[in-house]
Amino acid sequence: MHRGSTELNMTDKMKLKSALSGKSRLLVYFASGTEIKECYYKLPFELIILVDVAFKKPLKIAKNVVCVGLWSTNAISLFKELEISISCMATGIDGLEEGGCAFPMNGNFCIGSLLPILKNDFLHIAFPKQYRRSWKKLFLDMPFTSTLLNQTDKDYIDPKIFSSTNKAGYVWRVTKNVEPPTNFKLGGRNITIQRKSIWDNYESLDKLFVRCPPIEARNVKKLFPKAEIIKDFTFEGILQYCNRNNVSSIGLSPWLRHEYKAFLQYLLDNEEKNPLPRVIHFNHLHRNDFAQVYNLAKQSSISA
């Protein structure tokens, strides 16, 4: 698959940074396709950023429309580097009939990696019925509150702008929910469970063990040096990696299909042999993830 440019050169980065300067209302349209529609210029945002690997140039700026010719993961990495804050996330029929994407832009990986750079209140425009999985799990079982908008709402934007197919599009007004962490001790290790994006902890933890589409594994590790792909590791492998590399704090994404008793027991049984990590964060997006870890936390608080 043609991946296009993997990053912007320094000159283009400075041009984009200049275009972003002073702008607070940004719409980012992922897997946009290469057509620049006249209606984009009239959208109620200070800057419209189109992201698609198929653009011939890595960067093109025309008035208030910016074309970024990068793979979506690379674009997300760039936006984090530039510390932008997104007011509206739009996706079309990603990778199926329009746009260039080999995985769903509204799946756990993309939503999770985007959450740190989405504003606390943002708009989400998408076409959820394109996905085989339950769209309600993809869109409604997340750490935010979503309100479906209709044409009478002042923030409503016609989704048809972002797709030329006849599939139904929707617009949500979204507010992030910050749920308090649950903390407990497991032997000598400090455990935290929290419903939020694991990427929120990228700066504060030594290493993140994340899930991502297989096609993106190498790219994720290149763009985010503190990330490892959790499915590449056994229980023993995680502990050995941490002790070999002096990794004291880690974040873990859900990866064991809700069955975590064996992993928790393994942490206890191997603490003397592998004392690191001392701090473990279990971060999740869906409500029932890590239920067994929460149950252990509850038992620990009762017995304390």
Angle between the 261-269 and 291-303 helix axes, to the nearest 10 degrees?
A: 50
Q: What is the pLDDT of residues 111-120, one digit of tens each?
A: 999 999 999 9
Assign 47 a pLDDT band (cuts: 50, 70, 90): very high
Residue 5 lies in a domain: no
Residue 2 lies in a domain: no
**pTM score:** 0.91
Q: What is the pLDDT of residues 200-249, one digit of tens each?
A: 999 999 999 999 999 899 999 999 999 999 999 999 999 999 999 999 99
Residue 231 lies in a domain: yes
Residue 100 lies in a domain: yes
Query: Do 44 and 145 lie in a common domain?
Result: yes
Query: Do 165 and 38 lie in a common domain?
Result: yes
Contacts of 48 (CB under 8 A, 6+ apart): 27, 29, 40, 41, 64, 65, 66
**Contact indicator for 184, 228 with CB cutoff of 8 Å:** no
Query: Do 235 and 147 lie in a common domain?
Result: no
Determine the structural domain holding residue 142 and report its residue range. 10-176
Q: Is 304 exposed, middle or buried (0-12, 13-18, 19+ CB in 10 A)?
A: exposed
Tally of structural domains, the chain: 2
Indicate whether 1 pLDDT > 50: no
Query: Do 187 and 157 lie in a common domain?
Result: no
Structure tokens at 164: 């030329």
Q: What is the pLDDT of residues 71-92, one digit of tens each?
A: 999 999 999 999 999 999 998 8
Q: What does pLDDT average to over the chain? A: 90
Query: Do 116 and 97 lie in a common domain?
Result: yes
* Domain endpoint, select from 124, 149, 176: 176
Query: Do 169 and 32 lie in a common domain?
Result: yes
Q: Residue 133: how many CA atoms within 13 Å on its side-chain side?
A: 11
The overall longest dimension of the chain from CA atoms, in Å, is 64
Contacts of 218 (CB under 8 A, 6+ apart): none
Residue 50 lies in a domain: yes
Which residues lie across from 280 on neighbouring strands?
191, 250
Residue 14 lies in a domain: yes
Query: Do 196 and 139 lie in a common domain?
Result: no
Residue 46 lies in a domain: yes
Query: Do 68 and 20 lie in a common domain?
Result: yes
Is the model more confident about 208 or about 96? Answer: 208
Residue 4 lies in a domain: no
**Residue 144 φ then ψ, to 5°:** -155, 165
* Domain endpoint, select from 160, 176, 192: 176
